[in-house]
Amino acid sequence: MTTEARTLSGLGLAAKGGADVVVSGIAIDSRKIRQGTLFAALPGTTVHGARFVAQAIADGAAAILTDREGAALAADALEGSGVALVVAEDSRATLANAAALWFGPVPETLVAVTGTNGKTSVASFTRQIWEHLGHPAVNIGTTGVEGSYSAPGIHTTPDALTLQSLLAAIKADGIEHVAMEASSHGLDQRRMEAVSPCAAAFTNLTQDHLDYHGTMEAYFAAKLRLFTELLVDDGVAVVNVDDPYGREVANTVEMRGNEVIGVAQYAENAELRIAGRRLDERGQDLLVQAWGKPIRLRLPLIGAFQAMNVLTAAGLAIAAGEEVEAVFGVLPRLTGVRGRMQLAGVRTSGAPVYVDYAHTPDALENALKALRPHVLGRLHVVFGAGGDRDRGKRPLMGQAAAAYADVVIVTDDNPRSEDPAAIRAAVLGGCPDATEIGDRAEAILRAVDALEAGDALLIAGKGHETGQQVGDVVYPFDDVEQASVAVAALEGRA
């Protein structure tokens, strides 16, 4: 991993006036400026980074990278400072490419997955496939960095500096296989701009993040960038062609001249298709058509939707160079992802409690529909909706719960800066007959207490998360732990 001092030209940058200064580091946080640092003053959601240029110069910045707006905002601070100024049309993309040159080579086999739901499972399953085939591998995403390398505090799609540093460190550790999640925010903000996946997957697209993107069209356009701008010229796309947006992705990729591996339950011309399925209390048996060849497969995973995630991961591994037979040979050894249809406890009556990250209307519907075939009695659900996020999906989540569960409890998720009661009221607009219990721990306890033989409970919305944000404070809270404690207390094992 290369991090010695470089000239601006060595980072692919050209300063106004031709100055080619040596920089000792790159920072996007003005508080991390040291003598000789290149400060990337990027546009933010609330404030432009150029507002901090004066302080960056005072702290020793040798050069500033920004856009036209930033250059205008920082003009007074730059006047007479002697600090080099790089003005880029797309400062975020320029930073990503400079970071790639700064940190150096990344793993040779890198794949990415985007979509509203399933990204974490697909990335994890792809990493597991590689590991079972003898390749040290890593997945990067919502649950952090998992596999043969670990790093704390990584978001779904890290900022460009963090991502390039991480990938270079992974390669330096001798790991050449990486599966990463590509979020719409990360794609829109050019965090992956210097990453060139050899294969890319699309799971689905349903309403989410409209607080950021504004429209479904803009949301989809951000996702599509993975295939039209980042996928290598001879790369392969693995696409859920049952999804209408997926079919548009497939058409776009084919027009670009890239190979498409279709994944489907219904589209008969898909390369990887689920032709038959039998569910039981411990998993599912599948009949898969792989390029027309029938393959029988046992998956120890709950939820029919997991089969699509597994096939998508299989498609990515195959697209990245693995043999079809070898990949399908290890699929029965896959394990579920933390917080994704995770079994958190079982009552003595046999009633199970599951925790899932489902936090969109489509994801909640799919999770409930996936559990239904495994439940002889009543299907219970506890869920809420996050504050400071897409408000339009709240009643839709309520409608999904009312349509697919027998017993519904609406509780708090992460209220953030909003009034929790107002969020619950919006959700209840879609499920007016539901029970409202604001305290999430109490809601879980009461739901577990209501379980009878043959019933099952789904606790949805937070999955792997270990905190609950109320206002500016994040309180410790783990759905799996709360469910386990509730079961133990009610069974007299506490």
**Tokens standing for residue 240:** 């859920």
The rounded distance, in Å, linking the Cα atoms of 434 and 428 is 7
Stretches in the chain below the pLDDT threshold 70? 1-3, 153-156, 207-214, 493-494
Output b/e per residue, 223-235; b: 16+ Cβ within 10 A. bbbbbeebbeeeb
pLDDT at 212: 61
Q: Are 486 and 345 in contact (CB under 8 A)?
A: yes
Q: Are 139 and 178 in contact (CB under 8 A)?
A: yes
Q: Are 92 and 193 in contact (CB under 8 A)?
A: yes
Say which residues have a Cβ less than 8 Å from residue 305's Cβ, sequence separation at least 6.
117, 118, 366, 367, 370
**Tokens standing for residue 179:** 């599966």
Question: What single letter denotes the amino acid at residue 275?
Answer: A
The rounded distance, in Å, linking the Cα atoms of 352 and 334 is 21
pLDDT at 33: 95
**Tokens standing for residue 465:** 């998360």
pLDDT at 46: 86
Q: Are 180 and 123 in contact (CB under 8 A)?
A: yes
User: pLDDT tens, 359-388?
Assistant: 989 889 989 998 998 898 999 999 999 999
Q: How far is the first Cα of the chain from the last one, in angstroms, to the nearest whole number?
A: 50
| Chain centre distance of CA 123 | 9
Bridge partners (DSSP) listed for residue 262? 239
The rounded distance, in Å, linking the Cα atoms of 416 and 1 is 39
Handedness of CA 239, 244, 247, 249 (dihedral sign): negative
Q: Quick one: 63 exposed, middle or buried, by C-beta within 10 A (0-12, 13-18, 19+)?
A: buried
pLDDT at 138: 97
At residue 319, the 3 state secondary structure works out as helix
The rounded distance, in Å, linking the Cα atoms of 494 and 486 is 9
The rounded distance, in Å, linking the Cα atoms of 277 and 151 is 38
**Tokens standing for residue 245:** 């947006």
pTM exceeds cut of 0.85: no
What are the distances in angstroms from CA 153 to CA 137, 185, 281, 472?
19, 17, 35, 18
The rounded distance, in Å, linking the Cα atoms of 463 and 484 is 14
| Torsional class of 214: left (φ above 0), alpha (ψ -120 to 50), beta (otherwise) | left
Q: Which helix (H) or strand (E) holds 200?
A: strand 199-202
pLDDT at 473: 96
